[in-house]
Amino acid sequence: MSTSTSSACIPEELRIRVPSYDELRRRVLELFVQSVVVPRGIRKQGRERARVFRYMLKCERVFQYLASEISRIARLPKTATLHPFYAELITLASDGRYDTVVDRASKSVKILSKLWREYRSRILSAYTGVEAKELAREFVGRALSVAKRGLRDIEYMRRAIRVLRETPCIDVEAPTMIIAGMPQVGKSTLVSRISSAKPEVAPYPFTTKHIILGHVELGPIKIQVVDTPGILDRPVEEMNEIERRAVAALKHLKAITVFLLDPSRDSYYRFEQQVSVLKSVAEFVGRDKLIVVFNKIDRVDDSRKAECRKIVESVGFNVDLEISALLGYGVDRMLQLVIEKIERLYNVKLPRVL
């Protein structure tokens, strides 16, 4: 078994750099003061005509720049067209304003185009360079106002795309195992057991927690392993709204969640507390996508196992498997259960390797 990592990945259509309004404004002012070349035929018409044409060219360059930059934003995909996983994340990161920014950008391009047609005609109709200059400055000011209004929530979009870039490369179509459970139940030990290389560790979008991503290779099968310490390890009532929605995004993966319970008598958290978190996690991921596993079984006698099984069953769950992540006992069978469940729930067929 081995683990590989990838650079951060997001949908190709979101791989753009979105400028801030201040950046747009600064570039517009730079473009406006730069010199332009007036065609010789226009220069032959006289000095004033050449000056008038020069200001038209300056404004045309400003318009083309603004329209090009804002059009790139307007062409970004709406969340309804994205994979639900990414749609959930980008909506969360942008505080629900991503689609609004795309719509406003589209409207701004239309307004800018109409404004430019108006001012192009007015500037070219000017009698003097002074008149053309005044109209040109007026156009630039109005064009920037249109851009500012249309992009007033652009920072939310910039933040969303930035944090998506920082997210580990999660393949939304790959078979995935999410590891959950309270602290000290052996999650890290399990990840280390099934992975021969160090997994990628990176901040999970929009939370202060971290996500651990690895890939377990079982012959021709590669299973994506996602561990979310600090997120799927406590009751729902202790999560803030951002963390709840971040966890909700995980529901959109082709994933099975392995929930580890530590039934040992000296467990860090009382067993009843662990079962309470199990119930909360089931609300997020769905019971049909859950495998309940007793870990540290090498430290538990039969009477204690029976006692803990009854507690689990009393809240409507069954213990699917007993393992020792430390010793490796039952781990291969756990991985096979994950494969079988992925096949059944997502209607895919993976080759048998265990």
pLDDT confidence band for 208 (50 / 70 / 90): very low
Same domain for 211 and 67 = no
Q: What is the per-residue pLDDT across 148-199, written as a single tens digit (0 to 9) for each?
A: 999 999 999 998 888 777 776 777 877 888 888 888 888 878 887 886 445 5
Residue 46 resides in a domain: yes
- Residue 206, domain extent: 170-346
Same domain for 19 and 158 = yes
Same domain for 158 and 86 = yes
Least confident of 87-101, 170-184, 197-211, 276-290: 197-211
Q: What is the per-residue pLDDT across 282-296, written as a single tens digit (0 to 9) for each?
A: 887 888 889 999 999
Residue 62 resides in a domain: yes
Same domain for 124 and 18 = yes
According to the model, what pLDDT value does residue 5 have? 38
Tell me how many domains the chain contains. Answer: 2
Least confident of 177-186, 242-251, 275-284: 242-251
Same domain for 127 and 48 = yes
According to the model, what pLDDT value does residue 236 have? 65
> Does residue 241 or residue 54 have the better pLDDT?
54
> Does residue 81 or residue 3 have the better pLDDT?
81
What is the mean predicted confidence (pLDDT) over 20-46?
A: 92
According to the model, what pLDDT value does residue 165 have? 77
- Residue 82's contacts (CB-CB under 8 Å, 6 or more residues apart) are 11, 90
Same domain for 271 and 159 = no
What count of Cα atoms within 13 Å lies in the side-chain half-sphere of residue 330?
Answer: 15
Residue 51 resides in a domain: yes
Is a pLDDT exceeding 80 seen at residue 133? yes
CATH code (residue 72):
1.20.120.1190
Is a pLDDT exceeding 80 seen at residue 311? yes
What pTM did the predictor assign? 0.73
According to the model, what pLDDT value does residue 223 have? 79
CATH code (residue 240):
3.40.50.300
Residue 7 resides in a domain: no
Same domain for 234 and 186 = yes
Same domain for 177 and 118 = no
According to the model, what pLDDT value does residue 244 have? 66
For the chain, strand residue ranges (E) read 176-180, 200-203, 210-218, 221-227, 255-261, 290-294, 321-322
Same domain for 338 and 256 = yes
Taking CA atoms, 9 is separated from 1, 161, 262, in Å, by 24, 11, 35
Same domain for 201 and 144 = no
What is the mean predicted confidence (pLDDT) over 304-313?
A: 93
According to the model, what pLDDT value does residue 308 have? 94
Among the candidates 135, 164, 193, a domain finishes at: 164
What single DSSP character describes residue 12? G
What is the mean predicted confidence (pLDDT) over 33-60?
A: 91
Residue 3 resides in a domain: no
Residue 150 resides in a domain: yes
According to the model, what pLDDT value does residue 190 have? 86
Residue 263 resides in a domain: yes
Same domain for 113 and 19 = yes
What single DSSP character describes residue 329? B
Among the candidates 131, 164, 197, a domain finishes at: 164
Residue 261 resides in a domain: yes
Same domain for 232 and 274 = yes
According to the model, what pLDDT value does residue 253 have? 82
At 223, give phi and psi (nearest 5°): -105, 130
Is a pLDDT exceeding 80 seen at residue 248? no
Q: Which two tokens stand for residue 241?
A: 């709204």
Among the candidates 117, 142, 164, a domain finishes at: 164
